[in-house]
Chains A and B, each alone.
Chain A
Amino acid sequence: MVERKRIEIPEGVKVKESVGEEAGFPFDISPMYEGERIRKGDMYVELGGPTAPGFELVMALPMDQVEDMKVTLIGPDLEEMNEGEAYPYAMIYYIAGSQVETDLEPVIERRNHDFQNYIEGYMHLNQRYDIWIRIGKNAVKKGLNSLIQIAKATMMLYKNELPFIEKIEAVYITDKDFVEKFLNEVAMPIYEERDRRVEMLHDEDVGEFYSCTLCQSFAPTNVCIVSPDRPSLCGAITWFDGRAAAKVDPEGPNRAVPKGDLIDPIGGEYSGVNEFAKRESGGEYERIKLHSFFEYPHTSCGCFEVIGFYMPEVDGIGWVHRGYAEPAPNGLTFSTMAGQTGGGKQVAGFLGVGIAYFRSKKFIQADGGWYRTVWMPKELKERVAKYIPDDVRDKIATEEDARTLDELKEFLKKVDHPVVKGVVRPVDGKKITNGWVEEVAEEVAEEVAAEAAPAQPVAQQAVMQPVMQPMMMPGFQFPALQMPAPSAAPAGIKLIIKDAKITIDKVIIRKAEKEKKGGS
């Protein structure tokens, strides 16, 4: 971790200092000023922005290293600036408190934007190294003459609004060389570290996930759960976005979902998520596993960027994104599959995800993750290539390798894809599929029309059920299929069919070839 310490101001540099609370301010402070835009013609000076460097940074320090309510200003103050010009600007805050942790720095730093926009005649835009401030002529006319007033007002708001901040100190800089020096030497390494942490932050590291119900107008039973390892299906919302939104509007579309007890660490099942899902789906779903494809998968809204589909013929999973218009090897296009899966349903065999989920270390880990993935369009594969493990990357087919199931089978056999001999899921080393049965046997099996046997192959066929939907009666409600993972003990199949009217011309049920499958 990058070390947090006070910046070093070389001796002899002229600084302006002030300690203690201000008795009053020459400006109003209120949330009603949020969003106020200061036009170029009305602006006294611009700080940071498109033409001058700038940054804002919050650092958590030990109690004894922070001098409460102290401001140090390096460089020219407002009254020494020329009207209409742009100046470099850095705002560094040291904070301390028994509950203040390094992890909270970004959350606290973001509030600088909110608080400073409460100040009348002061516009704050952007974040980190992009900050852009404008101070209005009117504010100066009303008596604003020092950035120390701004710093004191901001610190006061911090302490009022976030009482766990016991001590706060500010260093503001308007000297170009110092702004650039501390941006490069102090701030950038911290920002980079934070972004690295995003990729390193996992479900087990946090206490709560966030929901998203923005889509419920289209998909009333959809319950999007956004966790560090699982961004939203639409690809827009990460755990950080959920947290930010829930802070602003705790009763809004993104609410905190306490994790509760961990029920299944591999599938990603939590009691808190289940309770929330049950409540928010109107009792439709009782269990949701965040990182499972087959067993209690996440619901699919309709907004998802990518749909995953199980192909029993190769015992593997394919993925197709919205932009790919051709049919996938299973003969279906994105929109056909999306039409059957969307609307907030939990459909075993199909799963909507966001492209960012391919970056997740827990990407459908219960069902083998990348080692179960057999096909994706080239465009999608290239976008996520660096997240695919080296030993399987070349074994995943694209439309250039295979457009039909037969071509896909050939390809997978040729490259010896894990599904051919059986997938071992990396998360716990368990062998979860048996690999392909002898082709001859399968062909024979297809000829046999035998009595119903609730075992593997049938179960896998049932997974494909949604494909039949377009041929069915209008108003047909797709049955909520609840499938055991194909590797589970042969416990059979549970079919819940609600409000269904099914017309079938012909049913072919084939016999399960248990011995052959297990023995090969």
Chain B
Amino acid sequence: MTVIAVAGKGGTGKTLVSALLVNFISEKSSSVLAVDADPDSNLPEALGVEVKKTLGEIREIFQVSRDEMGSMNKEQWLEGKIYAEAVCECPRYDLLVMGRPEGEGCYCFANSLLRGVLRRLMRHYDYIIIDTEAGLEHFSRKTIDSADYIIIVTDMSRKGLATAKRIKELAEELRLNFKKIFLIANRITSEDAEMAIRKFAEEEGLELLAVLPYDSSVAEVDLRGDPVSEIDKNSEVYRKMKEVANLILNLTVEAR
């Protein structure tokens, strides 16, 4: 099991990066789980698939129906619901959407059961690609245990870089036991900007994986919420992300 977490400030293109990685890695491996762990983004849309229910929705159903479960086993109930309704079987990979955060009331028990179910589910995939928000909430709550590779996506904004820095610190604090932490710079329009990003990466100890240019056709796909499969195969963004995916695949093969 190799867990790849893609994080970054909202709007930097991390969902695009996640979706492309899912696309490329699932061409080489038949055991891929994509996880949308950012309530503000929309990985299913970027992948061009629809999900029945989010994990959050199932947890809500659990909260209201638990009193009527008699002597039924609640963990088995949750597991059944998650496997049947939250894990979406897409043609080449499975997809799990975490959904919105908790409502009011106590979720200690529901989350404790969820952690167990997810742990047992996830260990059977060769690759898990997680689109996560900058706060790494699911990692800090231990709904997701660890990450082998963290890819931080940033644009050239000051805020994007500041967030990148914070994610790195947070990832270290949370002891995710990652093997490597990478940076991908997106929508870079000038050489000056590229220089600045390179310097930033060096200073922060982040390995710069790719510098993606601004590409209006990609931006349009992103903006319309169209699947990334519609991106021009000859575009620099597409080619460079394919290289990134291959690099990660090679890394994990070496690690095994």
A residues with a Cβ closer than 8 A to B are 34-37, 39-41, 50, 106, 110, 113, 123, 125-128, 130, 132, 194-195, 197-198, 212, 214-215, 232-237, 240-241, 244, 253, 302-305, 322-323, 355-356
A231 to B11 CA separation, bound complex (whole angstroms): 45
Tell me the smallest distance from the CB of B63 to a CB of chain A, in Å.
8
Tell me the smallest distance from the CB of A205 to a CB of chain B, in Å.
14
Stretch at the interface among B38-46, B104-112, B204-212, B223-231: B104-112
* B77: A residues at CB distance < 8 A: 126-127
Stretch at the interface among B80-88, B127-135, B184-192, B246-254: B80-88
Is B67 part of the binding interface, using a Cβ–Cβ cutoff of 8 Å?
Answer: yes
Is B79 part of the binding interface, using a Cβ–Cβ cutoff of 8 Å?
Answer: yes
- A234-B109 in contact (CB<8A): yes
* B74: A residues at CB distance < 8 A: 236, 241, 244
Tell me the smallest distance from the CB of B125 to a CB of chain A, in Å.
9
- A236-B108 in contact (CB<8A): yes
CB nearest to A201 among chain B residues: B71
- A236-B66 in contact (CB<8A): yes
B residues with a Cβ closer than 8 A to A are 63, 66-67, 70-77, 79-80, 83-84, 87, 89, 94, 104-106, 108-110, 112, 117, 119-124
A123 to B124 CA separation, bound complex (whole angstroms): 12
- A214-B104 in contact (CB<8A): no
- B110-A35 in contact (CB<8A): no
**Can you spell out 21 A-B residue pairs with CB atoms less than 8 angstroms apart?**
A35-B117, A35-B120, A37-B83, A37-B87, A39-B89, A40-B89, A50-B84, A113-B73, A123-B83, A125-B76, A125-B83, A126-B79, A198-B71, A214-B112, A232-B109, A233-B106, A234-B108, A240-B73, A244-B74, A322-B104, A356-B67
- A215-B108 in contact (CB<8A): yes
A236-B110, A244-B73 given. 20 additional CB < 8 A pairs? A34-B120, A35-B117, A35-B122, A36-B124, A37-B87, A110-B76, A113-B73, A126-B79, A127-B72, A128-B72, A130-B80, A194-B71, A233-B106, A234-B105, A234-B108, A303-B106, A304-B106, A322-B105, A323-B104, A356-B67
A470 to B71 CA separation, bound complex (whole angstroms): 42
* A235: B residues at CB distance < 8 A: 66-67, 105-106
A294 to B72 CA separation, bound complex (whole angstroms): 33
* A212: B residues at CB distance < 8 A: 109
* A323: B residues at CB distance < 8 A: 104
A40-B89, A214-B112, A234-B106 given; A125·B80 CB < 8 A: yes
* A198: B residues at CB distance < 8 A: 70-71
A198-B71, A237-B109 given; A37·B76 CB < 8 A: no
- B76-A39 in contact (CB<8A): no
A237 to B63 CA separation, bound complex (whole angstroms): 11
A37-B87, A197-B71, A244-B73 given; A236·B109 CB < 8 A: yes
Tell me the smallest distance from the CB of B110 to a CB of chain A, in Å.
6
- B108-A303 in contact (CB<8A): yes
Tell me the smallest distance from the CB of A299 to a CB of chain B, in Å.
15
- B108-A195 in contact (CB<8A): no
- B124-A214 in contact (CB<8A): no
Contact of B67 among A244, A303, A355 (CB under 8 A): A355
* A194: B residues at CB distance < 8 A: 70-71
Tell me the smallest distance from the CB of B140 to a CB of chain A, in Å.
13
* B123: A residues at CB distance < 8 A: 35
* A355: B residues at CB distance < 8 A: 67
- A305-B80 in contact (CB<8A): no
Contact of A132 among B71, B84, B119, B120 (CB under 8 A): B84
Residue in A241, A253, A303, A304 with the greatest tally of chain B CB atoms within 10 Å: A241
- A244-B75 in contact (CB<8A): yes
CB nearest to B76 among chain A residues: A127
* B67: A residues at CB distance < 8 A: 235, 355-356
- A37-B80 in contact (CB<8A): no
Tell me the smallest distance from the CB of B186 to a CB of chain A, in Å.
32
- B106-A253 in contact (CB<8A): no
Tell me the smallest distance from the CB of B215 to a CB of chain A, in Å.
34
Tell me the smallest distance from the CB of B87 to a CB of chain A, in Å.
7
* B76: A residues at CB distance < 8 A: 110, 113, 125-127
Residue in B73, B104, B105 with the greatest tally of chain A CB atoms within 10 Å: B73
* B112: A residues at CB distance < 8 A: 214, 253
Tell me the smallest distance from the CB of B92 to a CB of chain A, in Å.
9
Tell me the smallest distance from the CB of A330 to a CB of chain B, in Å.
21
A235 to B112 CA separation, bound complex (whole angstroms): 14
CB nearest to A126 among chain B residues: B80
Contact of B73 among A110, A214, A305 (CB under 8 A): A110
* A126: B residues at CB distance < 8 A: 76-77, 79-80
CB nearest to B119 among chain A residues: A35
* B110: A residues at CB distance < 8 A: 236
* B117: A residues at CB distance < 8 A: 35
Tell me the smallest distance from the CB of B30 to a CB of chain A, in Å.
8
